[in-house]
Amino acid sequence: MTERPSRPAHAHDSRKAYRQWLAAAAALGVVVFVLTSAFGAFVAGGADSSGYLNQARLWERGTLITNESLIERVDWPFADWTFSPLGFRPGVTRGTLVPIYSPGYPMVMGSIRRVFGAGSEMYVVPITAAGLVVCTAILGTWVGGLPIGAAASLLLATSPPFVLQSLQPMSDVPTAFWWTLAALLGSSRRLIDSLASAAAVAMAILTRPNLVPLAIPLVLFVLAARRREETSYNWRGAIIVSSGVVMAAALVAYLNTIFFGSPGSSGYGAPRDLYQLGFVPVNVVRYTQWLMQSETILIFAALAGLVALRRNAFAGRWAMFAAAVVAIVLSSYLFYRPFDNWTYLRFFLPAYPLLFVALLSVANFNFFASRPGLKTALIVTTTVVVFGAHINFMLHNHVFQTKALEQKYLTVTDYIQRSLPANAVFISHQYTGSIHYYTDRRILRYDWLVPNRLDDAVHRLESLGYKPYVLLEDWEEPVFQQRFLSDSTLAKLDWYPSVEFPTNHVRIYDPAKRPAK
């Protein structure tokens, strides 16, 4: 086995051409950064985006536990849950709320926000998206040559789950970036690279702790890194990277204890509820369909590409590492509770750079490699077909409308901030995270309010000096009515809303304006 060469393994790729390609890869990264910054929907919207941004602000302030005095001033069941915005849950101490999402991504955002000011945290995703594209280009070039590096980075940059997650303040792209960067740096025996790889893998684990098993193939991959003149394993690098894994796991366990009461707890619920063997069949069917629809059936040729990579020691080491990564990422989510739409392919993003490199490496089979024209034609054809499928899929699934679709949260919360009283409390669900982030108003989660207590809750809030409102998207209204209608007159929603946002399909009702009947 040999160490990663200082230039691509293929003799016909000159040093000058390699430098030119690195410059081109960096330029592609700049393009990705500019486009995602310009067209990204960096808004505190639904549960994930608002949850991360709300937590980032807590990291900036240095206070991760929020006190909610209303919990102790009401008498209905699950009061602590009813006052928890999306992205939060009750803390160990009654009257407190804690963030439920993993700390890595919001920790980085909070640090950047503290240094550069509000709004700067939104650039974490564009930066890591650009970095992931560049890392994929370098990886593909090291493993298979310049054409494969170029094609793999283009396919990643246009892959639907990558594009969608690059346009939102969520942790999927940063997770994939940290794991890919850790692997690239880990292929070197230099001390500085090993230290940087340890830092990257620590950030990867802090960002998505459930993928900590990926540390096993990573450490083994680092251990196997050798110089041409050496036969010894890279024990120093493996120990350094392992230390990054241990420190990150220890920090996650510490925060879990503070937030949820024990090292093994998390904000997502009990593992026995999240992971079940019975989830596998439906997940296999759904994820297979979504992969074929978004990446074409060609993506499964990546398995053959892994075999082709075994043709030399360096690429073969990458192939074994890639196979382990793909297997672990898949198994991490095949047993996870099923989801109902393709956007959850985002969970597999840490494997995507390796999959695209493996797919294009089919061209390195002897049959193609010995025929340069045929090899080039195969790479170009594969790239064009998959690229076209990417664009077609995104057009039909409104990916390019992400920014416009997410603006509804800004429209509604801006109205609240400008026009509704400071003592308002919004009985809502979908908008609770964004209301918490953009306004100083309280929220009450109707999905945690027991069905026979809606009217009582409104009267109690009024008696405490608060002004209750009901804020619902159109799809929430039947859910709201079904939950409370048998025990509440307010659940009928049979009066005109105080304000309606037709474009956003949102209505705000003032219970005090319901006529007596």
Is residue 9 very low, low, confident or very high in pLDDT (cuts 50, 70, 90)?
very low
Q: Rounded mean pLDDT of 54-58?
A: 97
Q: Rounded mean pLDDT of 413-431?
A: 97
Q: Determine how many CB atoms are found less than 10 A away from the CB of residue 516.
A: 4
Q: Rounded mean pLDDT of 463-492?
A: 95
Q: DSSP letters along 317-363, please?
A: HHHHHHHHHHHHHHHHHHTBPP-SSGGGGGGGGGGHHHHHHHHHGGG
Q: Rounded mean pLDDT of 64-91?
A: 95
Residue position matching structure tokens 């393994």: 9
pLDDT tens column, 340-395 = 999 999 999 999 999 999 999 998 887 777 788 888 899 999 999 999 999 999 99
Q: Return phi, psi of residue 370, to 5°.
A: -80, -5
Q: 69 near 32, Cβ under 8 Å?
A: no
| Angle subtended at Cα 207 by Cα 127 and Cα 79, rounded to the nearest 5 degrees | 120
| Angle subtended at Cα 169 by Cα 195 and Cα 21, rounded to the nearest 5 degrees | 55
| Angle subtended at Cα 51 by Cα 48 and Cα 56, rounded to the nearest 5 degrees | 125
- Overall pTM surpassing 0.75 (yes/no): yes
Evaluate if residue 5 carries a pLDDT over 70. no
Q: For position 440, what pLDDT does the model report?
A: 86
Q: Rounded mean pLDDT of 471-489?
A: 94
Residue position matching structure tokens 């699934």: 397
Cα separation, 56 vs 53, in Å, equals 5
Q: Rounded mean pLDDT of 29-46?
A: 94
Q: Rounded mean pLDDT of 144-169?
A: 94
Cα separation, 238 vs 258, in Å, equals 30
Q: Rounded mean pLDDT of 160-166?
A: 97
435 against 305, higher pLDDT:
435
Q: For position 393, what pLDDT does the model report?
A: 97
